[in-house]
Amino acid sequence: MSNTIQRLYEQGQSVWCDNLSRHLIDSGELQELVDLGVTGVTSNPAIFKKAITGGTDYDQAIEKAIGKSCGDVLAVYEALVLPDIADAADILRPVYDKTDGVDGYVSLEVNPKLAFDTGATITEARRLFSKLDRPNVMIKVPATVEGVAAVETLIGEGVNVNVTLIFSVAMYEKVMTAYLNGLQRLVASGKHPSHVASVASFFVSRVDTLVDKLLNNKGGRASELCGKAAVANAKIAYARFCEVFDESGDFAELARKGARVQRPLWASTSTKNPDYPDTLYVDPLVGPHTVNTMPPVTLKAALDHGSFSRTVDSDIEKQRALFSSLAAQEIDLTAVTDQLLREGVDVFIAAIDELLANLSQKRAALRPTGQRT
């Protein structure tokens, strides 16, 4: 019998796992997830911080990396992270081959400290993509103004990109434009557009977390709108995706040349409010050409009792009306999404700073006594 993940796939939605660690790879758990129907993996600095600092799984690798790094803690970090990405990509390579490059990807984020530097982001993304040297790796670039500018260049060079930390429909519009412009540059250079892939990671649950706080502060009937903004935001984004990538529109010529759509990827889909259903950000967002990257707890819930009906393009006018109701409550969604983007970048910067500090401490503790300073 098929499970929920496989039935979601039948509706056109790929399920990726928002988690990666050496244990997940070596224990065979990642392969088990692939066998269940998971077709991709996403990672970020917070995920790697938890994996590396949460136990001793990486201690031998840290000790080995220290001897080669000449004291460069960033080199130690890469010596831990890049093998995880490479090995996960190898496990998922059969999926990539079977789906002709639609699925089977593993995502690695550029250093979040580069989020507001276009040139440095491009350089770093090129380097990581080249170093990993696998067609089923995606480089994650944040949807800052500077990051979106980098996306166009990277797509134009054939680098697979996962555009992350998208919160607003307005920024999503710019992300799609950058992707299309990048494809045009790729075609103009004589390269085949089917050899590059991209997803646009639209963050979901965090929108409700902040909007609910603002609504609850207002009191009265405003609280009736709680828990609804995030799904509405994502559904409206999907409606724009369908319009932009309609093969009878501007995308048509690129599609005829083999270009792929830039699929919306629903990220941050774990339920933060315990009063809400644990599949709140899964069940209403099912539909063609979408990805839902789920952390383990959400993946487990989806397998146990998730729905698999097509829902992402239903009730669009109802979602637009909800936006009007939020505006009537003086909820400024532009301010909300701008704040969430800033906070998202800050969270990832803090995670990598904490991880590098931890690696420095472990480096000192693991280094032979005669080498300590």
Number of Cβ atoms within 10 Å of the Cβ of 185: 16
How many residues are present in the chain?
Answer: 373
Angle of helix 145-156 relative to helix 118-132, nearest 10 degrees, comes to: 40
Helix (H, G, I), strand (E, B) or coil at 199: strand
Angle of helix 333-366 relative to helix 316-328, nearest 10 degrees, comes to: 90
Beta strands in the chain (DSSP E): 13-17, 40-41, 105-109, 137-142, 161-166, 198-203, 263-267, 290-294
Catalytic one of 50, 98, 140, 235 = 140
Rounded-to-integer distance, Cα 279 and Cα 271, Å: 7
318 is catalytic: no
Number of Cβ atoms within 10 Å of the Cβ of 342: 13
Structure tokens of 156? 């134009």
Annotated active-site positions, please?
Answer: 140
